[in-house]
Amino acid sequence: MGMWSIGVGALGAAAVALLLANTDIFLSKPQKATLEYLEDIELKTLGKEPRTFKAKELWEEKGAVIMAVRRPGCFLCREEAADLSSLKPKLDELGVPLYAVVKEHIRTEVKDFQPYFKGEIFLDEKKKFYGPQRRKMMFMGFVRLGVWSNFFRARNGGFSGNLEGEGFILGGVFVVGSGKQGILLEHREKEFGDKVNPVSVLEAARKIKPQTLAPEGK
């Protein structure tokens, strides 16, 4: 009876742990970014002669859609990148650029990501786009049913990837208006493969009001 009780108790504890891991109780709550916070982020181009600039250059005139990529080699991130890229023709009609930021530049990871993402990609070495409060999902993610559902969805969609690079710091997607219009959409990944809704991205992009240049001489 003693061993039987221990076994039942262990199974019960495992069941409770699994149940709790599939709630949002232990998920860190994201802290909303302010426009001022995003504007001051330093980004770097990935060309032969890297240039460092303030992130506000990306949206100052026309606004922007920006993906903070958790890991370029992740097949779930590649799936989301492809979803956002499917909006590119409509974003072009609106005059809204599509960008991505990565937190590290490892070997050919960014180059291998580019077939999935149809916008320019920049390096965020200080991982500011993943803040203000940087959140991680560790191995708990692999017992969440939602994550496994996302895995199967992406695999069935034909996406594949690798294990290169840091992949625990969660990413997100921003739609930022021009000038001081502000952040029109902020999607924070709550678990691996928690994609932004492309319809919401497009709705937010349609609210962007491009900056008009003042006539010369005035």
Annotated catalytic residue: which of 77, 87, 101, 102?
Answer: 77
Here the contacts of 215-218 (C-beta below 8 Å, separation 24 or greater) are: none
How far is 6 from 73, CA to CA, in rounded Å? 43
Q: Is 74 a catalytic residue?
A: yes
Helix (H, G, I), strand (E, B) or coil at 52: strand
Active-site position among 66, 67, 69, 74: 74
The Cα–Cα gap between 62 and 54 comes to 16
- To 10 degrees, the CA torsion angle through 145, 110, 38, 166? 50
| CA–CA distance, 185 with 199 (Å, rounded to integer) | 11
Active site residues: 74, 77
